[in-house]
Amino acid sequence: MYNRREKEKELMEHHSGYLEKLNSSYQFIAKTAFYSKGKFGRQIQLFENELNKGSDIYMEMVDITRDPKGMETDMVPMFWERPLFKYRYNPYFKEEYEVKVSTNSRGEEYSAYIIPTSELVCVNKGSEEIPYNEYDKNRTSEPVEQKKLSVFPDFEEEFVPKLKDVTESSEDVSAILLEIAGSFQKLATALKNK
């Protein structure tokens, strides 16, 4: 289990150079961007108390890792380049955005406003603001130039076993094969008795 506030503080420290230069009040939060059925692009959830503060909200997108039981174990940056996004304060958020009522992992009901990521701008380097959709489009990699006629690998050249690297003697291999045969014999006996 991790401490969300401490993790957000660590994430914020990564962007402290930019945030310290701001001349206005702001909030920093970590948010997960997700796809919703029937919606175009990714969405984020912002809570009413976050939107009511009357300031821009700066955020880093994160992924939540979970254990096999579904409990949150960590929060990691969503993008390797760790961009900083800004949601510009909108006093009309109650009229413009859909409210989602759901239940958290502890079974508690909550409500949040669903904001399309297209409402965000990327402010990562310098003072230039890039709309999220432009950022997302530009981060997809360019097609890689094909160097061969076929994309199918040449198994004789690329996957030739390197016999020089084999250090086990034939006696070692024989012992391993006998051990495997014995294991199969025990398995066959166990299956026969059931």
What pLDDT score was predicted for residue 148? 58
Query: Which pTM does this prediction carry?
Result: 0.66
Distance CA(88)–CA(172), nearest Å, equals 68
Q: What parts of the chain have a pLDDT lower than 70?
A: 1, 124-127, 140-171
Rounded CA-CA distance 108/31 in Å is: 19
Q: DSSP for 56-105?
A: EEEEEEEEEEE-TTS-EEEEEESSTT---EEEPP-TTHHHHSEEEEEE-T
d(CA 132, CA 83) in angstroms, rounded, equals 10
Pairing mode, if any, of strands 85-87 and 56-66?
antiparallel
pLDDT digits (tens, 9 = 90+) for 41-69: 899 999 999 999 989 999 999 998 888 88
The residues spanned by each domain of the chain are: 4-139, 155-193
42-46 and 56-66 strand pairing: unpaired
| pLDDT of 156 | 62
